[in-house]
A and B are shown apart, each in its own frame.
Chain A
Amino acid sequence: MLNRRQFLIGAGAAAVAPYFVRGWAQSSPWEKTAYRKQERSRVAILSAKSYDIPLKDTILRGIKPFGLDLQGKKVVLKPNLVEYDPAGVINTHPAVISATIEAFRSLGAREVVVAEGPGHRRDNEYLLTASGLYAMLKDHGARYVDLDTDDVRPFQLRSHFTSFPHLYFPETVLQADLLVSMPKLKTHHWAGVTLSLKNMFGLMPSAVYGWPKNPLHWAGIHNSILDINSTLPIPQFAIVDSIIGMEGNGPIQGTAKHCGALIFGNDLVAVDATAARLMQIDPSKVSYLAKAEQFLGNMAQEKIVQVGESLSAYQQDFSVMPSFQHLKTISG
């Protein structure tokens, strides 16, 4: 039984506690467990002129510097498959996914699953057949999982940029040994750019968050990208389809732009910063990249060890929506 003094102390503590919690959260909105920044990060850029040439060898050379141990592992490939427009260049090309399945299997992966939670369309059959993924997956005997309707598990957030108490992640992803984010190199009309970190939006099950995962947008796209990526509890890798990217009104209604490269890395912040530079976009001006740089990975060029081809050889001037013109400050 509390006496009056104990009650008042307790009530006072309860009243001021939120201020301390909020104050701490403002100074450091991520928990220690979310910190994964290394001293330096490596990013590989490899030439890949088109989707018509064999890409398996390029994928193998691209992942080699990272020494991935895939023997007996279950790998989930998460491409960008948000929508299909016959005239557009929206999705990660099936040729890149196909080559990645072959490469990972040749390195001993026990299972390579392709998984996505399309944010707009619920019609998986149409998305898969129209995009060419269905035929490719059938040829490989590879499984596709619709993450939108997968079983889910809630996770306490490791950072607190949004006010969600937890986020639901799909079981298929949680049971993987390695998650490979395979975005398309694109500009984005709400976020500036959409690359390997933003691609993780597709993990969030729409059966919970709705189509088009609107609560995550209302919580702030940049905030949600940070909380999703900091909370993801499994190892990650990124392969960015930069053979043909999208500029302008991405991620759906932009125009195609040829870059002729694939980008690889195990630090998704470093990969995205490099991909942004490829588009002549200053990564430090992309809000979520600037914040991610504080705890999730390296953004600064001097902290990124570039292997493979030189960045400058593939840089292209990607146009952006007028509201993101301030991102375009890199030249050469």
Chain B
Amino acid sequence: MIETAVNFLVETQNPDGGWGVEKGRRSNTEASAFALLGLGSQGERSLTTIIDRGLKWLTEQQHADGSWPLTDQFSQGSWATALAALALAFFASHREQALRGADWLLRQEGKPLGRLQSVIYRIAPHKLPVQQNPDLKGWSWAPNTASWVEPTAYALMALKKLRPHLQSSRIEARIHEGELLIYDRMCKGGGWNYGNSTVLGEDLLPYPDITALTLIALQDHKAEANRVSLDALQKMLVQVQSGLALSWSILCFALYSQETAEWKALLAKGYERTGFLGETKTLALALLACTNKVSVFQV
């Protein structure tokens, strides 16, 4: 599995140095960030040229304001900025670019849901169709839109990783509010989906991939919600054993000092079944999971 994943990432690097979501696709910031983390964490000299080309592509994509677009098809900074900053934070020689990305993240915030929702939440929260605190601001997928769990978790990962080097006075407040938002959106019984726990009175299901990456973002907390969600994650994996779910979960369990051997065996079997659909991100995460490279996400 390890050799297969490394070979996949080496062979699917685009001529421009980046990686697409799949082999042969346009270079993409999210896929390239995970590919760089996967390969970079292996500490293999033979990968140096590949990694350097990847870093060159990634740094060249950064906008003057510190952000990254998702691909060169877009002129606007995107949610993938958090992942680019996280990836570059791993490479000490690129910390300055990572910090510029983190500064951009600190200037971004999800749009609150509005004054009316805010008033209803304070007076009669059960009347809201979607049960959540509408005032909390995390990070959004697209600028000037609402906050969601996954982009908020990525932003928290990047900011916490770079926190010792950031000068901004806003960092602690932003991290704190982002965490509040995530806890506010936890599903009943633990875990997270994209960001709606209860809609029109019905509880929605949590997803294992989102739960695991969110717990990674919250790793420095010992909240009861974390413990409940870790238990929930174990149960979710009985149903969902995809490469994405297992890879994130193995990294999460390792960070929380839980056993991972059983899940690693399932990950290898899963690859034989589907090849993880040839998705760059999943292969890169599987590589990180199989080789215990949790330090990439550790804060």
Instruction: Let me know if A215 and B26 touch, CB within 8 A.
Output: no
Report whether A122 and B142 are in contact in the complex, using a CB–CB cutoff of 8 Å: no
Asked if B61 lies at the interface with its beta carbon under 8 angstroms from chain A, I say no
- Measured CB to CB, the closest approach of chain A to B26, in angstroms, equals 6
B67 is an interface residue with CB less than 8 A from chain A: no
- Asked if A123 and B140 sit within 8 Å, CB to CB, the answer is no
Q: Which of B94-102, B160-168, B178-186, B240-248 contacts A (4 or more CB under 8 A)?
A: B240-248
> A120 touching B194 by the CB < 8 A rule?
yes
Q: Which of A129, A149, A206, A211 has the most CB of B within 10 A?
A: A149
| CB atoms of B200 and A123 under 8 A apart | no
Is the Cβ of B245 less than 8 Å from the Cβ of A210? no
A129 in contact with B141 given A122-B244, A210-B148 (CB within 8 Å): no
- What is the CB-to-nearest-CB distance from A26 to chain B, in angstroms, rounded to a whole number? 24
Q: Which of A193-219 contact B (CB under 8 A)?
A: 206-212, 214-215, 218
Of chain B, the residue at the smallest CB distance from A322 is B200
A214 CA / B279 CA spacing, docked (Å): 25
A189 within 8 A of B: yes
Q: In the complex the two chains form, what is the Cα distance from A130 to B140 in whole Å?
A: 29
Task: Annotate B144-170 by CB proximity to A: 1 below 8 A, 0 otherwise.
Answer: 011010110000000000000000000
In chain B, residues 250-282, which have Cβ atoms closer than 8 Å to a Cβ of chain A?
270, 273-274, 276-277, 279, 282
| A302 surroundings in chain B (CB, below 8 A) | none
B200, A321: Cβ atoms closer than 8 Å = yes
A86 close to B (CB within 8 Å): yes
Q: Is B25 part of the binding interface, using a Cβ–Cβ cutoff of 8 Å?
A: yes
C-alpha gap A89/B143 in the complex (Å)? 34
Which residues A53-91 have CB closer than 8 A to chain B? 85-86
Do A151 and B73 form a contact, CB below 8 Å, given A123-B209, A209-B141? yes
* A316 beta carbon closer than 8 Å to chain B: no
For B140, what are the chain A residues with a Cβ–Cβ distance below 8 Å? 210
The reply to whether the CB of A155 lies closer than 8 angstroms to some CB of chain B is no
A89 to chain B minimum Cβ distance, whole angstroms, is: 15
Assembly CA distance A285 to B97 (angstroms) = 54
Which of B140, B141, B277 has the largest count of A CB atoms less than 10 A from its CB?
Answer: B141
A125/B244 contact (C-beta < 8 A), A134-B274, A321-B200 known: yes
Interface string of A98-136 (1 = CB under 8 A from B): 000000000000000000000011111110111000100
A residues apposed to B, CB below 8 Å: 85-86, 120-126, 128-130, 134, 144, 146, 149, 151-152, 189, 206-212, 214-215, 218, 249, 252-253, 321
